[in-house]
Structure 1
């Protein structure tokens, strides 16, 4: 089993990969376009797997896991290109959910 990586490690790993190319990171606008493209591919895969639209016989096999991986990669590229620490961003979002939405959902009670 692969060793668990921190989000910071994953950001560094993606940066090492992108840094080997002269082109570097795409522009923020190009990264948003790529992200939308990948989300569309995820939607298509989810629709094939869980929705009413079966794949065509000649369509390649794909997976929700791979599509989510593509979205994660693009998200990390976007964050890296703008110098955003995704661990910090995650902590800020979770804090927002824990305060703003603290009583929004019905909590499970453990005994």
Structure 2
């Protein structure tokens, strides 16, 4: 599934079930909340904190998908083509970092 497909599916879902998009500000707050849920799972499952019993059944994949859903909402309502934006970002990052990480002694 492409980023374009994700944006289309999210838009169709919003129109069918969501009534309308939340405001951009609300979606930004939602994105922050979803990223926080991802951070909580990773910090407790893979980091130094112990995992609470109530968090042990949390699905990291589901939480990452929540982040993608809200990002697609924000892109749709602000007229961003995520696939195009991602390709541009990959070109720019490659240009900037093509040798930086390869030559980083910390990563050897």
TM-score for both structures, normalised by structure 2 = 0.85
- Give the conservation status (yes or no) of the 8 Å contact 2:41–2:55: no
Q: Deviations over 1:53-95 (max 9, x none)?
A: 2233344611221111110111011101111110001011001
1-side partners of 2:92 and 2:25: how far apart?
A: 27
Q: Structure 1 residues 56, 96: closer, same or farther in 2, change over 3 A?
A: same
- Give the conservation status (yes or no) of the 8 Å contact 2:41–2:58: yes
Counterpart of 2:106? none
TM-score for both structures, normalised by structure 1 = 0.82
Counterpart of 1:86? 82
- Is 1:76 aligned with 2:72? yes
2-side partners of 1:34 and 1:45: how far apart?
A: 17
RMSD: 1.7
1-side partners of 2:102 and 2:12: how far apart?
A: 43
Counterpart of 2:57? 61
Q: Structure 1 unaligned segments of length 5 or more: list them.
A: none
Higher helix share: 2
Give runs of aligned pairs for residues 1-111 of structure 1, distance below 5 A: 5-21=1-17, 23-59=19-55, 61-106=57-102
Q: Structure 2 unaligned segments of length 5 or more: list them.
A: 104-108
